[in-house]
Each structure stands twice: as structure tokens, then as C-alpha cells.
Amino acid sequence: MALTTTVVKKTRSASHKVHYLTATFPASYTAGGEAFAPASFGMSAFLFVGIEQDADGYVVKFDRAANKLMVFEQGIITGSTTVADATTGALIEDGAGAETTFRAMGTAVDTTIRVGALKEAAATTDLSAVSVRLQLIGV
């Protein structure tokens, strides 16, 4: 399923169009981003795409060259299972909050580990609960 959008308001000036909308991501994210073309909104080009970043831990970026909305995430979170000892470490949680079999050596339970720059969300990640508010200015 593709990105779904709901237009909140449309305005127009002599030189450009402005649309405010809500975009909700699909239950199976597409690697490289979700299609987001100006033609879908009656525009020939976007001059500006503003994104309100209330995406529940995700960061959304507009890829102007490809006309796509991309989703990024970061971090490793350890689960709540008691650590057997300091050399085994806590189990790492996956994106859904379930503990995996991967361990972060020497870590405590319920710890967030920061690991550098954001990475694009993996293909097929369920982002159906992620919505962002957008401002589109175009011609």
C-alpha cells in the first residue's frame, strides 16, 4: 500500500499554490522512500516542502531529486530481560519493541544506545501509525 494523504487546506496566490496536508505512511515501507510527486497535488513543481516532525521517533525527509518522502530512524534499545552477567549484555529490541537474540555486550536492561547518524527505515517496516503534517508550496 502506498503513502496516503489527506488535504487539510488549499490556498492560491497569483504566483503559487499552497497545500496543507497530512501524510500517513504504509504498513510496508518502500526502501528509497514513498512516491510524492507534485502532479499528485495539481502542481508542476514543488518550491518548498515543509515537514512537521511529530513522527513518533522517526524523522521524515523530502528527497527533492527523486520526489519521495523518506523515513529515518536511529538507536538501539535493550530489552527488559534480566542480564545473566556483565559479559553477555542485554537483549536488543527490534523496531516493534520485541526482544531479539542479539545482545549488546556489557549493557544493562532498558538502555538506549546512540550509534551515529540516522539510517533509512528498512524495507517492509510497518509505518502505518506514522503520520506527518506537510506544507507544500508549488507552481
42 & 89 share domain: no
Same domain? 65 vs 90: no
Q: Quick check: 56 and 130 in contact, CB under 8 A?
A: yes
CATH code, domain carrying 61: 2.60.40
Residues 63 and 18 in one domain: yes
- The residue whose grid cell reads 521524515 is 60
Cell numbers 531529486 correspond to 65
Q: Provide φ and ψ at 12, rounded to 5°.
A: -150, 140
Structural domain span for residue 94: 76-113
The pLDDT assigned to 47 comes to 97
- Taking only the tens place, the pLDDT of each residue in 9-51 is 999 988 999 999 999 999 999 999 999 999 999 999 999 999 9
Closest-CA residue to 17 (of 50, 51, 48): 48
- Give yes or no: residues 47 and 18 share one domain: yes
**In contact, 12 and 136? CB cutoff 8 Å:** no
